[in-house]
Amino acid sequence: MNRRIVVSGGGTGIGRAIAASFARAGDHVTIVGRRADVLEKVAAEYETVTAVAADLTVPADVERVAATLDSVDVVVNNAGGAVYDGPLSTLADHAAAWRAELDANVLTAALLTTALLPKVTRPGGRVILMSSVAAVKGGGVYGAAKAALHGWAYSLATRLGPEGITVNVVAPGYVAETEFFGDRMSPEFHESRVRQTLVGRGGVPDDIAATVDHLASPAAGYITGQIIHVNGGSVLGR
Ligand X SMILES: NC(=O)c1ccc[n+]([C@@H]2O[C@H](COP(=O)([O-])OP(=O)(O)OC[C@H]3O[C@@H](n4cnc5c(N)ncnc54)[C@H](OP(=O)(O)O)[C@@H]3O)[C@@H](O)[C@H]2O)c1
Would you please indicate which residues are annotated as catalytic (active-site) residues?
A: 142
Rounded CA-CA distance 225/223 in Å is: 7
Of 5-13, 68-76, 93-101, 219-227, the segment contacting ligand X by CB under 6 A is 5-13
Of 40-48, 75-83, 151-159, 216-224, the segment contacting ligand X by CB under 6 A is 75-83
Strands of the 28-33 sheet, one edge to the other: 49-53, 28-33, 4-8, 74-77, 126-130, 166-172, 227-230
Rounded CA-CA distance 49/62 in Å is: 18
Identify which of residues 91 and 236 has a Cβ nearer to ligand X in the complex. Answer: 236
Q: Which of residues 46-65 bind ligand X (CB under 6 A)?
A: 55-57
Among 108, 168, 211, 234, binds ligand X (CB under 6 A): 108
Helix H, strand E, coil C: the string for 27-82 is CEEEEEECCHHHHHHHHHHCCCEEEEECCCCCHHHHHHHHHCCCCECEEEECCCCC
Binding of ligand X at residue 40 (CB under 6 A)?
no
Please report, for residues 12, 63, 97, 209, 213, the alpha-carbon distance to residue 39 in angstroms, rounded to integers and kept in the order given: 8, 19, 27, 18, 21
CA 179 to centroid of chain Cα atoms: 14
Residue closest to ligand X, measured at CB: 13
Angle, vertex CA 153, rays to CA 149 and CA 159, nearest 5: 150
Among 3, 6, 7, 15, binds ligand X (CB under 6 A): 15
Among 19, 117, 128, 180, binds ligand X (CB under 6 A): 180
Among 33, 125, 143, 232, binds ligand X (CB under 6 A): 33
User: How many residues contact ligand X, by CB under 6 A?
Assistant: 29
Binding of ligand X at residue 174 (CB under 6 A)?
yes
Among 160, 175, 209, 216, binds ligand X (CB under 6 A): 175
Among 132, 166, 168, 224, binds ligand X (CB under 6 A): 132
Of 21-29, 116-124, 150-158, 169-177, the segment contacting ligand X by CB under 6 A is 169-177
Partners of 29 in the β-ladder: 5, 49
Contacts of 204 (CB under 8 A, 6+ apart): 17, 175, 176, 177
In degrees rounded to 5, what are phi and psi of residue 78?
-105, -20
Rounded to a whole number of angstroms, the minimum distance from the CB of residue 116 to ligand X is 14
Identify which of residues 36 and 161 has a Cβ nearer to ligand X in the complex. Answer: 36
Catalog residues that contact ligand X under the rule CB under 6 A.
8-9, 11-15, 32-35, 38, 55-57, 78-81, 104, 108, 130, 132, 172, 174-175, 178-180
